[in-house]
Structure 1
Amino acid sequence: MSGSLWLKPPASTPPLAAPPRPRPAPEVPAGPGPAPDPLDELAARLDAFVAAAVHPDEIAALLESDGMTDAHIRLTYGRNDSFALAEDLYARVERCHPEPPPRTRGGRVRAEGLGGCLLRGLVFALPGLAYVLAGPLLAAGPGRYGLPAGTVPLLAGAVTGWVWNQALSHRAHTWLGLGDRAAAARALLTGAPAGALAGTAVALAAARDGELPAAVFAAGQSLYLAAATVLLVLGRERALLAALSPLAGALPALRWDLPDPFRAGLPALSLAAAVLVAARALRPGTARGAAGRGGPPLGTSVPYGLFGLGSGLLVLDAGLGESPAAGAGAVIALTLSMGPAEWLLHRFRGGSLARLRTLTTAREFRRAVTGTLVLCLGGYLTVLLALALAATLLWPGAPWPAPERLLTLLLLGTVLWLGLLLQAFGAVLGAAAVCLLAAAAQTLEPAAGPLAAGGAAAVLAVLTRALLVRPTAHRL
């Protein structure tokens, strides 16, 4: 939801051994005696990396990444290819797995804490109270496509904001990962207002007669999404929570009717507070950066925007149930579950790294990672189910969800969690493609919702296991 979960400054990662460089065969010494074995020299140079490897394929990947060709390997080391050379290196060097680096007070520790992740889940869900307050003010009369009045411009603006801000947060996180917080702030300073303008323009274009109040609310929604993106990327969740605190006044609206000025004033107050806090957070980081430094390619952030589009459409489909009350429980559960989901992603990462340090065979590692994956996914689905049932009990007039609705929700949760996991490990393009196809299937044929979600969950499960059972996928 807020970019890659383990991007951090390169200085905090312990350096690996220097990669091998193809070099000419050593000259034969003039004196008597055998020539030194170049394989021994290579093993000594790569001792730290080879000792930490849990499978020869890791070593082969390092050799190939530096352009060591099979012809060079045959000429210099007398082995057929990089895999044969990697197996010999693996056999020559004793296993010695390094301890994890000591934790610092940086952003990663903050993100790994359960309290911090729950806080993020809360700030994801609290903006929903603005819809509870402003709902009666948005539009009158019947809406389009069987939806409540004013829904179309709201959805159009929201989806535009999700797409833009997912891509923007990835770009800003990339700058943070490079250790350039000022560049990240500048990216947010230019990208966040542009995203707010784009969401507003799309909402206004989608509005029809009688939906101007909904379009105005959608403009505020776009502005809030921009401000929230800034604060979440910069780690200011507590400031965002404070800005959202006026929305707690929406709780009485679940039971009683409230005056219109009250309904309009509380969301406006929260919006103004969020924008001011975001602007203040950006001020220290807008200084000019180092001259001539190129930024990360813009195209690398596009898949993250596409993943935001696919996952956003899937969540919207879950919220458009037989009635607004029926869909509200699903949306509340999904948004609140994003906090535990993020924590479980970090738990999976930590468990996998622990197995990488302690296990000595690829088979043991595959089995351990698969078990950790099943446990973390099962834990997330348990939390999601509990939140869905609790939201149904607390939401006035919400019908008890049918078994097929709960099954669809759990399948959707599987898709979202596995998609976030793939995104965190850099395989975002596959996750985005699967989510977009599932969302398209549900949009074109709503009755195919469970089938589309189930198919997407199965495909993502296969992709996730195929990627994450490889030790090289877990290298920091």
Structure 2
Amino acid sequence: MSGSLWLKPPREGATLPAIPRPRREEAPKTPHAPKTPDTPKTPHAEKTPHAESAPDADLAPDPLDELAERIDGFVAAAVHPDEVAALLESDGMTDDHIRLTYGRADSFALAEDLYARVERRHPAPQAPPAGPRFDGLAHCLLRGFVFALPGLAYVLAAPLLAGEQGRFGLPGGTVPLLAGAVTGWVWNQALSHRAYTWLGLGDRPAAARALLTGALPGALAGTGVALAVAAPGETPAAVFAAGQALYLAAATVLLVLGRERALLGALVPLAGAVPAFRWDLPDPLRIGLLLASLTAAVALAALVLRPGLRRAAAGRGGPPRAASLPYGLFGLGSGLLVLHAGVGATPVGGAGAVVALTLSMGPAEWLLHRFRGESLTRLRTLTTARAFRRAVTGTLVLCLGGYLTVLVSLALAVTLAWPGAPWPTLPRLLALLLVGTALWLGLLLQAFGAVLGAATVCLLAAAAQTALPAAGPAAAGGAAAVLAVLTCVLLVRPTAHRV
């Protein structure tokens, strides 16, 4: 791109090069010049339309002035000429058309002229919405709590799943549980993207229809994978994995449609797992609590999906299904990174790391919203690309640092609350921070549409950890470094923040 992020400020008093435009060539008029016999006299020679017109009437209107007036509002709010060039190209202006019409070499040269000609007029930042200041934070914390609370189901089911020694050095039943969970993460992440796309188009019934048609196949896929990988003696784990797949489908429906409080109510029976940390509960009580929570979640999901039953709920073609595939791949990569964060330590210590990462997803969402909001504010108030780049970089460092601080605090809190949990060592904390950095930066890139790069990096890191478990910290660190570079390259550009 010519000019990249270099900003050339307009000079006062500078004039733009003249734009070639057609002009009629006429002989100078002399009202009192004597007539010569060589000039024939015509009936209309004494009065012509041009004789009564003003001297500037022959000048054609400047096409650059017309263009500047037409897109004045956009150019005035632009932070860099590249934004104007992107608008011109999206409007279908080719370089040939620009050369013939405006006398400029290409869209970038025309954008620089327009940017220099129009005065900067950035709209004032919008006033914060009325209401409590931390409503958004409370909502995101609620989501983080809802993400982590299903972990109590594993505490309730642990005695029911105990069996023979499992494979790959894992406890019995772990393989079908992990296989079913990862399948659910991939499917439901892609399904969520498709439903959110419908919501972005303002068609809530179509979003409900997409969830209605996609949730059940996702539950069947998770169940089928768990049953396929289950070994003899792991039948109880496969049955639990089937219930897990059904819950993931119902939770996806409720979370996408904004029913977090309803999902929290469905998870209340799992609070019965708290006494199970110290005392042994009867097996019928454990099974009853699990079934009560699962039944409530499925019933609530069925209630909110009623708008999707309407025949016209998805009358349009909708977004292409292939566009949701990278989001599913990102769910696979990030899910495997979280699982690897819990492997290699003691069972309790590994579970504590997974719980801390899961709980941190709520604050992570809030910090993502904060970064987006602060970036949009800077886009409206700053007038140079350099100032915008510095401001966005500072906001990125603060938000990432805030998330990592929350993650460490949660890890320490889980260690204190979990009976018998070992105190995390410095290498374990460092590995947890690297995984957290990769996850948060990946979520940030996903929020700005660069999901394919984030998914690729996370998948490669997860594959490296799976093939060589000892390389876990190095793989997570490499993923965090690559995602940091991608974030700095993509998100310091003003055009990445235009909505």
Same-fold status (TM-score > 0.5):
yes
- Which residue of 58, 83, 90 corresponds with 1:58? 83
Report which stretch shifted further, 63-72 or 334-343: 63-72
* Distance (Å, rounded) in 1 between the aligned partners of 2:228 and 2:337: 23
Contact 2:190 2:325 in 1 (8 A): yes
Other structure's SS at 1:98 match: coil
Kept in 2: contact 1:204–1:215 (CA 8 A): yes
- Post-superposition Cα deviations, 1:362-406, rounded to whole Å, max 9, x if no partner, equal 000000000000000000000000000111111122111121111
Partner in structure 2 of residue 42 of structure 1: 67
CA distance in 1 between partners of 2:225 and 2:162 (Å): 18
Matched, 1:406 2:429: yes
* 1:443-458 equivalences in 2 (<5 Å): 443-458=466-481
Counterpart CA distance in 1 for 2:163 and 2:209 is 41
Alignment of 1:150 with 2:166, yes or no, is no
String of CA shifts for 1:143-192, please: whole Å, max 9, x gaps.
Answer: 11100110000000000000000000000000000111111001000100
- How do 1:126-205 residues align onto structure 2 when only pairs under 5 Å count? 126-205=149-228
> Cα distance, 1:323 vs. partner?
2.0
**Equivalent residue, structure 2, for 1:10:** none
Q: 1:66: Cα distance to partner? A: 2.2
Q: Give runs of aligned pairs for residues 252-263 of structure 1, distance below 5 A.
A: 252-263=275-286
Query: Which one-letter code corresponds to 1:461 in the other structure?
Result: A
Cα 1:346/1:219, change in 2 over 3 Å: same
Q: Distance in 1 between matches of 2:307 and 2:69?
A: 47
C-alpha separation in 1, matches of 2:238 and 2:313: 41
In structure 1, what is the equivalent of residue 248 of structure 2?
225
1:9 matched residue in structure 2: none
For residues 283 and 313 of structure 2, what CA distance do their matches in structure 1 show? 51
Matched, 1:85 2:110: yes
Q: Are residues 1:279 and 2:302 paired?
A: yes
Segment drifting more, 187-196 vs 94-103: 94-103
| Structure 2 match to 1:312 | 335
Structure 2 segments unaligned to the other structure (5+ residues): 1-19, 25-49
- CA–CA distance in 2 between the matches of 1:347 and 1:103? 12
The structure-2 alpha-carbon separation of the partners of 1:69 and 1:54, relative to structure 1 and needing over 3 Å to count, comes to same
Is 1:294 the counterpart of 2:317? The answer is yes
How far off its partner does 1:111 sit? Answer: 11
Answer yes or no: is 1:371 the counterpart of 2:394.
Answer: yes
Q: Which residue of 2 aligns with 1:214?
A: 237
What whole-Å deviation, never above 9, does each CA across 1:298-328 have from its counterpart, x for those lacking one? 0000000000000000001112233210101
Deviation of the 1:78 alpha carbon: 1.2
**3-state SS of the aligned residue for 1:289?**
helix
State how far apart, in whole Å, the 1-side matches of 2:234 and 2:133 are: 42
1:96 is displaced (CA, Å) by 1.2
Provide the rounded CA distance (Å) in 1 between the counterparts of 2:198 and 2:345: 43
Match of 1:266 in 2: 289
Distance in 1, Cα, partners of 2:245 & 2:101: 61
Contact 2:209 2:313 in 1 (8 A): no
User: Alpha carbon RMSD of aligned pairs, Å?
Assistant: 1.9
2:383 aligned partner: 360
Query: For 2:290, what is the secondary structure of its paired residue?
Result: helix
Name the SS for the 1:400 alignment partner: coil
1:95 corresponds to which letter in structure 2? R
Aligned CA distance change for structure 1 residues 217 and 291 (closer, same or farther; 3 Å): closer
Alpha-carbon distance in structure 2 between the residues aligned to 1:340 and 1:241 = 17
Q: How far apart in 1 are the matches of 2:311 and 2:133? A: 28
Which amino acid is 1:202 matched to? V
Deviation at 1:256, TM superposition (A): 1.4
Check if 1:321 corresponds to 2:340: no
CA distance in 1, matches of 2:91, 2:122: 23
Match of 2:4?
Answer: none
Name the CA distance, whole Å, in 2 between partners of 1:449 and 1:326: 16
Spell out structure 1 runs of 4+ moving beyond 4 A. 25-32, 100-105, 109-112
Q: Which has the larger radius of gyration?
A: 2
Distance 2:126 2:71 in 1: 20
Q: Distance in 2 between matches of 1:287 and 1:167?
A: 23
Q: 2:415, 2:313 → 1: CA distance?
A: 53
Looking at structure 1, the residues matched to 429 and 332 of structure 2 have their Cα atoms a distance apart, in angstroms, of 23
SS at match of 1:179: coil
**CA shift for structure 1 position 28:** 6.0
Q: Distance in 2 between matches of 1:290 and 1:28?
A: 59
Contact between 1:365 and 1:469, CA under 8 Å: does it hold in 2?
A: yes
* Shift in Å, 1:290: 6.6
Alignment of 1:68 with 2:121, yes or no, is no
Q: Is the 8 A contact 2:194 2:319 kept in 1?
A: yes
Per the TM alignment, residue 259 of structure 1 is displaced from its structure 2 partner at its CA by: 1.1
Task: Describe the SS at the equivalent of 2:274.
Answer: helix
Q: Deviations over 1:104-152 (max 9, x none)?
A: 89xxx99970010000000000000000010111131211110011000
Task: Assess if the C-alpha contact under 8 Å between 1:139 and 1:210 holds in 2.
Answer: no
1:272-306 Cα offsets, whole Å, 9 max, x none, are: 00000000011134212278521100000000000
CA 290–100 in structure 1, closer or farther in 2 if over 3 Å, else same: farther
- Equivalent residues of 2:146, 2:260 under 8 A apart: yes
User: What is the distance in 2 between the residues matched to 1:37 and 1:150?
Assistant: 76
Identity between Structure 1 and Structure 2 (%): 80
Could you tell me whether the CA contact under 8 Å between 1:111 and 1:117 is conserved in 2?
no
Q: Is the 8 A contact 1:183 1:286 kept in 2?
A: no
CA shift digits 1:5-42 (9 cap, x unpaired): xxxxxxxxxxxxxxxxxxxx987688652222111100
CA distance in 1, matches of 2:324, 2:23: 52
What's the counterpart of residue 18 of structure 1? none
**Which consecutive unaligned segments of at least 5 residues does structure 1 have?**
1-24
* Shift in alpha-carbon separation, 1:218–1:449, aligned structure 2, 3 A: same
Please report how far the alpha carbon of residue 465 of structure 1 lies from its aligned counterpart in structure 2 after TM superposition.
1.0
1:422 alignment partner in structure 2: 445
